[in-house]
Structure 1
Amino acid sequence: MKDINNNEESYNLTEDENNILDQIGLNDGASRRKFLKQLSAASLSVLASAYFTTDLFATTIKDLPDEVKALLNEVKVNLRVNNMVKPLTLDSRTTLLDALREKLALTGSKKGCDHGQCGACTVIVDGKRRLSCLTLAASCEGKEITTIEGLAENGQLHPMQQAFIKHDGFQCGYCTPGQICSSVALLEEAKNGEASYVTEDFKDIKNNLALSEEEIRERMSGNICRCGAYNNIVQAFKEVHSGDDVMPTWEFATAEQMAKAKI
């Protein structure tokens, strides 16, 4: 053992520790003392940061004040959500997803990628599918918003919710609220005869479309299921859409098709 002493303090270092200090160029006692002091201060700051932020992280939404004292770009918005009007005071940049989750405690809509790529936050706005993480809450003034919590009526699940349960259209369930909202809105899209990427003839589109499995998969492609429950999701949608309870058929690409696609 060796001691590095000054008038105020002493560091007891092992032979290995002294060798390490020698290798990084801290050969004299003064430089070593300075290095060890800085190291001690850095370690203390890491421990202190956890202590001082504990109360902050423990604070829940219910503990926050009802009226925020200072709000940037303040706007007042009346959101009509699930047939109820909710007056809110928000920052103008607040997304619909954050307003639903943080202000109205409607946590069914999930924050997944927060970039509009996974579909977990999908809600229905005026009958259309909408990615709530990319939608400003202020832009929804006067519009009819339906979340997963608003699909059931009089204690009865929506037929699409029942079908998802029956066909096990979920595993972890994280994407399920967005999947179901997207499926419900897709029923209306088919009823109204709206085209999709795989529609063959845009000049001859009729109402009450009978969607093929290819159409269903393409139209639901914006909703990602990391558990891979797509087969059951398609089956659940088919039953509600057309009463077809037959398992979806999945075709494997032929060698010729793979070569053509350069896979």
Structure 2
Amino acid sequence: MHTAMQLKKELFVTEIDGKAAELLPDWGPLDRFGIIVHEPFGAIGASYLLQAAIAEWYAARPERLDRSDQIYPDFFLFHAGGPHGDHTYFDLFPPRKEVFVENTPMALLRAVNDRGITHLAVPDRPVERVQHEFKEPRQAYDRIRSAWAYSPSGRVENADVTISSKRRVAEANIKLTLNAAESYSERQQASAAVGEVPLPENELVRVPESREHEVSKEVRDRILEQRKTLDAGGVRTESYRRITVRDALGMLHHGPAPAFLESESWPSD
């Protein structure tokens, strides 16, 4: 729950079409953010988008910041054909917030709809003609209000949205996620932000098993090093591209889309 105290809206600067703008002007207290991941720690490329949205989630209902009754954000990460690495340090907790899904358009959209996602980020890839289950696309069109394409590298082609920060704290959760053992200062600051957490007698704490084995140290180190390419003039910037929900549903999977299936006939009365 450290992000409640760590992430503030003023930590990030957003530009849309080259002009300063609100990232999520219509964000409400019941909105839910989802991000699809195709490769090891791919979501790091959209970490500023994710964290800026977390700040909006807490700002939308300030009582969530009450230290005596803090809760985790309603944010979900979907591992397409994963697992693709543990993202707990972004406060994607309890473990059900990271969803392991078969890498098919149908399975991924079903998972997104099940969690009631209202704002969705997907890895950039060509939009493909895909098949979904009956009425699942319509459910998504009715509910999802914003969608973005992102790149695991942090920079997407034909971007029209950028999020920047010059504060070290903007990178804290990234360092903790990729290399917690060598991020002593960040761990101490996260613990201080959480403070003393009361445990109600009717709630049980379970420490999840380590998932460090999912991604090698070499890959983690390479991603951390690549982050430096996002710097210019002491400011680190990620970029994204706004897309339609319809396009997003054709970008959920990675690799070739499955062949279309024949629909079954409705049972007769």
What range is the shorter-chain TM-score in? under 0.3
Q: Which has the higher helix share?
A: 1
Max Rg structure: 1
Relative contact order, CA 8 A, sep 6+: which one is greater? 2
Q: Scaled by the length of structure 1, what TM-score is found?
A: 0.24
Q: Scaled by the length of structure 2, what TM-score is found?
A: 0.24
